[in-house]
Amino acid sequence: MPEDRNGVSRKISLHTSDDILNRDLEALRQEALDLGASMAKIIPAEWVEIDERVRLKCSVPLCPYYDKNLYCPPRGPSADVTRKAMSRYTWALLFALDVIPPDEFSDRSTEREAAVTWGKKCLEITSRIETLAFGRGYYLAMGFGQGSCLKILCGQERCLVLGGGKCPYPLQSRPSMESSGIDVFRLATRAGWDIYPIYRSVDPKAVPRALSLGIVFIY
């Protein structure tokens, strides 16, 4: 995403009034929509459930990115660390991109390029909302995307950082929600959004909807 010099820098305050907070949250929600999100919702942070089983699914069955990326298991923030950190937040912005057609989010090799495009858009919105929140004084705002940034951003066989190199996308690369233990399916359902699993044995054209989701914890 191109750099710009039009960002705001609000003085840090030890207390944010409800009026200012509500206006900021709504402005960030609208910004997510303006950036291309199909849906965006301010949710209580306590809606986010951290489940060790979600992170374990990265290794059972084995994900091709397991142990190949700084942010993927067994590296990256553990479910316990994520749970403790997220418990300190009150509000988060959850957004989703409607993947159209849904078969573009399939794991089949012929459609992986399209899936990467959707994942990259999700990370772009996540990092942008995090930056905007930071500028408004929410300096601990923290976002998570969906899918491995190794696959989505740089396409390397192995994360360059693990070999002593530099990340080519330091501001956009980040852990995925699922690699940190966030139950994405449950969260989307709680937000009132229809979500369906897409996997190798199902015809993605028969699935009513595919979603790419991101979240930014703000305050």
Buried b (16+ CB within 10 A) or exposed e, 63-99: bebbebbebbbebbbbbeebbeebeebebbbbbbbeb
**154, HSE (Cβ side, Cα atoms, 13 Å):** 22
Q: pLDDT value at position 105?
A: 72
Extents of the domains making up the chain:
38-217
Q: pLDDT value at position 201?
A: 86
Q: pLDDT value at position 102?
A: 81
Model pTM? 0.92
Q: pLDDT value at position 73?
A: 97
Q: pLDDT value at position 128?
A: 97
Show the tokens assigned to 175.
Answer: 């852990």
Residue 3, C-beta contacts closer than 8 angstroms, at least 6 positions apart = none
Q: pLDDT value at position 130?
A: 98
Q: pLDDT value at position 1?
A: 45
Averaged pLDDT, groups of 10, the chain, 219 residues long: 72 95 98 98 98 96 95 96 97 96 66 80 97 97 94 92 95 95 98 92 86 97
